[in-house]
Structure 1
Amino acid sequence: MTTTIDTDVLVVGAGPCGLTASALLARYGVDAITVSRFPSTAHTPRAHITNQRAMEIFRDLGIESEVRAAGISNEQMGENVWATSFAGTELARARSWGTGTDRRSDYDGASPTSMTNIGQHKLEPILRAAAEKRGADIRFNTELVEIRQDDDHVYATVRDRETADTYQIRAKYAFGADGGRSTVVEQIGFHMDGETGLGFAVNVWLEADLTKYRAHRPGALFFTLQPGRDFWLGSGTYVTVEPWNEFVLIVMYDPAVEQIDVSEEAMLARARKTIGDDDVEITIKNISQWQINHVVAKEYRKGRVFIGGDAAHRHPPANGLGSNTSVQDANNIAWKLAMVVSGQADDSLLDSYSQERQPVGRQVVDRAMASVELLGKLTPAFGITAGQDEQQGWETIHEYFGDSPDSERKREAVQAVLDANDYQFNCHGVELGQRYASGGIVSTDPMPPYTRDPELYYHPTSTPGAVLPHAWLQHGDDRVSTLDLVDGNFTVITGIGGDDWLSAASEVAGELGIVIDGRKVGPREEYDDVFGEWKKASEIHDAGVLIVRPDRHVAWRATSMSDDPLGALRSVMASLTGRGVVEAGAGTEAKVGA
């Protein structure tokens, strides 16, 4: 007979999405099993750009400093360079990831964290350790063979790839984070929307000491443009893994017009040509292939099964949104699963996962594809085209630096393309600006209009559905962010004159059998608004209140004290948890968001 193991949640896949889910579920005390068909965590760099929203989640897990220490600092990420080769002529340079003088304050003011550049092969072991430290059950070399569900359970047949033994896992819910070739997606029947195979790429992980070419212009990306190749990224793009002696060379190609020899000898020759210095010793560590897709799932929930990460959204690496969005998917679903399996919330709360994250997935795949198209305009702007001979190509490049009217027009055209590529390299609004409308939000407040480009600029607001705005506070001798006030539970945040909200929160928490943390923020309060930053950012009066979810999205707010704070909070929490509906208190006008 096949052995059956019971658990509350089965997580399939142990990449950034699955491991984050595993760590968070363990933190919430959920009985969960994570399976991965691979022998261990990632063995190549793959994803690398890690934005502030993902870093905030790592901060919540207590691993922010570890991730930062293992990665490349934001200051060393900033200078994107386009050149004929490392040793050749520099064609253009641009500030990225908020390191420019015109964007630095935007990034610094938006979050207590900063971006970092860390290869997936370094990030995943940190996430794994964080999960296992909290007691997570993670089973590598364990392949999902079959998955099905009925009204009450999910049934998964898995195989131990070392012993060939099979057994069944019976779970209340399953989370498919098993990548772009997801077994969960295929067997459960999730519907995907978009196109695959829009382009193909080769990753060449290599070691080469390029300090003299990179240290004085430090950055995460180095693009090489040479005559004869104009497909999207030009002749090859170098992703920094270790400054400045370890990189991943990415070569994109269209198989309809070009076939690429992926042997080590051929890739070594390509690396030598794009480095441009034959004295540099090159060691190739790994060669892998992948394809460019533009796909998102139409729904992230089917019955008792959910999907996230590359299983749900597949797109080019432009904007660095892949693993970041995956980590945020896990952050959204984990606390909801924890509340439902513990009986603290009704199953209907889980509907909000798809309602909230599917639109984000759609935005991400569209933004990434548009960014690749924008980046592809730079090579022809320099006059580099496919099939041109070497002499013609180099003459075109030299002409770029000429003193003729045509040369000046070419430089202006290149600058216009570089400016447009801010939508890839300084896209702060896409990175941080997720705003939810779902059954997990209780609000009648419309979102405030954007005052600047919503993709380029993050617009913090305390309007329900948005992430709690960041502001620095003093707590004893420690400086803390308002984001640090939320510690895995629903949190009520109020100020001077808001004690009735805190009393009401305590009473409602007792009635529902859940934890609601109370925080009082204001001048000389426990959380001291010493700079007055919170008063400006909160958008509420001192005696107003915010209810913030465990994932730091604002669930509800009252801009001032209610006539009946207990009735108001009772109604809101009943709506959020799905455990009965109580009439809202006078003056609250609370209702579940669309």
Structure 2
Amino acid sequence: METVQVLIIGAGPAGATLAFHLGKLSIRSIVISRHHGTANTPRAHIFNQRAMEVLRDGGLEARVAKVASDASDMQHTSWSNTLAGEEHGRMWSWGNKPSEKHRYEMATEVRFGHEFIYLDDQGDSVVATIRRREDVKEYQVRCDYLIGVDGARSPVIEAFVGKTINSAFNVHIEADLTKCLINRPGSLNWILNNDAPEWSAVGNFRMVRPWTEFVVSMHPAKKDGEVFEPSEAQIKGRLHQMIGNTDVPIKFYRHSGLTHGASKSAIEQLERKDEAGMKARKCLQDAFEATEAELQALGIQMNQIYMGLLATWVAEGDSPPQFDNLNTLKEVAVSSFPGLHLPHVWVAASGQSPRVSTLDLCGHGKFTALTERGGECWLQAAKQLSDRDGNPEIAVHSIGFHCDFMGCYSDWERVRGVEDEGVVLVGPDHFVAWRYKGASDDAVTLLLTALRKVLALD
């Protein structure tokens, strides 16, 4: 039986990124995927900000930027009868709302064509049974950690919680829809068409490349108790209906999956001229506005918090921040309290230097101690501990007047949460692990204790 430290099920963005960073830390992993290679059709419509920070820490930002769509091409989510027809409404999306502008190959082995079958949790380890799809032979891998990042219809989730019902109907196409979308650029374009067959009255054109490549989601209903799967010809015909122009040439790649349909009765209500129609239209407008919490949901992307876990240690007398008046779905919780993500602020190296983010001072597989003028005891403590065998390396940066870095706009002083002589210890994952308000004659012991606490060595 093979043995590995980490077995990762799924070679999508999450699995591949995890393996990449584990490899940078010299942690051996095996990634398996039931498919024969990477995805051959587009997947998620956005890559959120926190996930982008993870890739940035791995040095991949420039490569991702080369293949990304410009933010201006994703600024709206719209709803219309057809792409070329009547527009029902639109909302600002993904941080493009003007009033919101101010907020803002490694040591791993990838085995494509290998399918996870089941697992046996043995307490101190996990044994996974894997099937090689080419010859249907099965083998086992023992691992310290098994991580399931195999997306929808996850066999790993089913192994823990039983079978789930999740399905989708997507069509990947190329079609020049510039005339339909150039005046309302957006990544999500919903179609609400009362004249369409019930199985396709509601759909969504998700932009892959502006404005010539799309993934179109349609919603087949159950027909007489059976799932209705339209033919390719029906799908092409319906795509032309959704666009509102039958002359647009469509290059049809493929479609896959099924999902439940949506009744068009609610759409019919919108066309009525009586009081019921007025109420339906008001309800529709309210529904558009209610999507803002989703379309401007920076907070839900950014506000991962470790509280009361081994990865953090709160010094005696340190108090957590209060976020009672913060909309944590939309707004980012900014604090250097242990368990929260290190706040981004701009700093610049002493002298004439370009500004950089505090996030760029940290990570890269190391702990980082951030202090200011007067925090020399922490600089010395970090150096002493880094030189000792068995201790992790601690990078150190001072931010302030006549320090390694100048805090641009005085933002660091506002968010650091400690005095000039204090220290903020940041983990390799950019989360604050510990902080101490001021200087100490026993800085080495305090810093060592903090490290041992957050690494679960005590």
- Same-fold call, TM cutoff 0.5: yes
Distance 1:472 1:526 in 2: 13
1:552 to 426, 430, 445: 430
Structure 1 residues 559, 261: closer, same or farther in 2, change over 3 A? Answer: same
- Determine if contact 1:200/1:255 at 8 Å carries over to the other structure: no
SS at match of 1:102: helix
Matches within 5 A, 1:118-137: 133-137=105-109
Partner of 1:81: 78
Q: Where do residues 94-243 of structure 1 align in structure 2 (5 Å cutoff)?
A: 94-107=91-104, 133-187=105-159, 190-191=160-161, 196-197=164-165, 201-227=168-194, 235-243=202-210
1:266 equivalenced with 2:230 (yes/no) = no
- Note the alpha carbon deviations across 1:208-243, whole angstroms, 9 max, x for none: 110111122111011111216799995211100111
Distance 1:144 1:82, change over 3 A: closer
CA contact (8 A) 1:229 1:385 kept: no
Once residues 449 and 289 of structure 2 are traced to their aligned partners in structure 1, the CA distance between those partners, rounded to angstroms, is 49
**1:468 and 2:346 aligned:** no
Cα distance change of structure 1 residues 435 and 408 upon mapping to structure 2, 3 Å threshold? same
CA 291–548 in structure 1, closer or farther in 2 if over 3 Å, else same: farther
Once the two structures are superposed, the pairs formed by residues 522-541 of structure 1 within 5 Å of their partners are 522-541=400-419
- Structure 1 residue 27 corresponds to structure 2 residue 28: no
Q: Distance in 2 between matches of 1:555 and 1:87?
A: 53
How much has 1:502 moved relative to structure 2?
1.8
Cross-structure match for 2:365: 488
Does residue 282 (structure 1) correspond to residue 250 (structure 2)? The answer is: yes
Equivalent residue number for residue 427 of structure 1: 297
Pair 485,450 (structure 1): closer, same or farther in 2 beyond 3 Å = farther
Read off the aligned partner of 1:467 and give its amino acid letter.
H
Q: How many Å separate the matches in 2 of 1:164 and 1:410? A: 55
- Paired position in structure 1 for 2:2: 5
CA contact (8 A) 2:311 2:456 kept: no
* Structure 1 residues 495 and 254: alpha-carbon distance in aligned structure 2, compared to 1, 3 A threshold: farther
Alignment gaps of 5+ in structure 2 = none
How far off is 1:250 after superposition? 0.8
In 2, the alpha carbon distance for the partners of 1:229 and 1:555 equals 55
Partner of residue 507 from structure 1, selected from 379, 384, 389:
384
1:398-446, Cα deviation, whole Å (9 max, x unpaired): x5xxxx9988766654433222111110112111112221221112522
Give the total of aligned pairs: 448
CA drift of 1:93 comes to 1.5
Match of 2:287 in 1: 417
Tell me which of 52, 61, 66 is aligned to 1:55: 52
Once residues 417 and 246 of structure 2 are traced to their aligned partners in structure 1, the CA distance between those partners, rounded to angstroms, is: 60
Distance 1:515 1:441, change over 3 A: same
Distance of aligned partners of 1:232 and 1:473 in 2 relative to their CA distance in 1, 3 Å threshold: farther
Is the helix fraction higher in 1 or 2?
1
Residue 456 of structure 2 corresponds to residue 456 of structure 1: no
Q: What's the CA shift for 1:284?
A: 1.5
1:330-383 C-alpha deviation (Å, 9 max, x unpaired): xxxxxxxxxxxxxxxxxxxxxxxxxxxxxxxxxxxxxxxxxxxxxx9xx9xxxx
Amino acid paired to 2:101 = R
Quick check: 1:228–1:387 contact (8 Å CA) kept in 2? Answer: no
The separation in 1 between residues aligned to 2:360 and 2:128, in whole angstroms, is: 37
Aligned partners of 2:419, 2:224: CA distance in 1, in Å?
63
Among 6, 11, 14, the alignment partner of 1:14 is 11
Q: Which amino acid aligns with 2:342?
A: L
Q: Kindly report the root-mean-square deviation, in angstroms, between the aligned alpha carbons of the 2 structures.
A: 2.9
Tell me how far 1:151 sits from its aligned partner.
4.5
Q: CA deviation at 1:282?
A: 1.3
Cα 1:454–1:6 shift into 2, 3 Å: closer
Preserved contact between residue 436 and residue 466 of structure 1 (Cα < 8 Å) = yes
Q: 1:170 to 1:449 in 2, by over 3 A?
A: closer
Structure 1 distance, partners of 2:118, 2:51, is 31
CA distance in 2, matches of 1:71, 1:565: 45
**Shift in CA distance, 415/386, structure 1 to aligned 2, threshold 3 Å:** closer
- Deviation of 1:196 (Å): 4.6
Specify which of 358, 375, 385 is matched with residue 265 of structure 2: 385
Once residues 86 and 501 of structure 1 are traced to their aligned partners in structure 2, the CA distance between those partners, rounded to angstroms, is 60
Name the aligned partner's letter for residue 556 of structure 1: W
Which deviates further from its counterpart, 94-103 or 161-170?
A: 161-170
**Relative to structure 1, is the Cα distance of residues 512 and 291 closer, same or farther in structure 2, using a 3 angstrom cutoff?**
farther
CA distance in structure 1 between the partners assigned to 2:296 and 2:196 by the alignment: 26
Question: What SS is found at the alignment partner of 1:424?
Answer: helix
Alpha carbons 2:91, 2:292 under 8 Å: kept: no
Q: Which amino acid aligns with 1:484?
A: D
1:570 maps to amino acid: L
Structure 1: runs of 5 or more not aligned? 108-132, 293-375, 581-594
Percent identity over the alignment? 33
Deviations 1:516-554 (A, max 9, x none): 221211134222213222112222222111111111111
Pairwise mapping of residues 347-386 of structure 1 onto structure 2 (< 5 A)? 385=265
CA deviations on 1:532-579 (whole Å, 9 max, x unpaired) are 221122222221111111111111112222353222212211211222
AA partner of residue 360 (structure 2): D
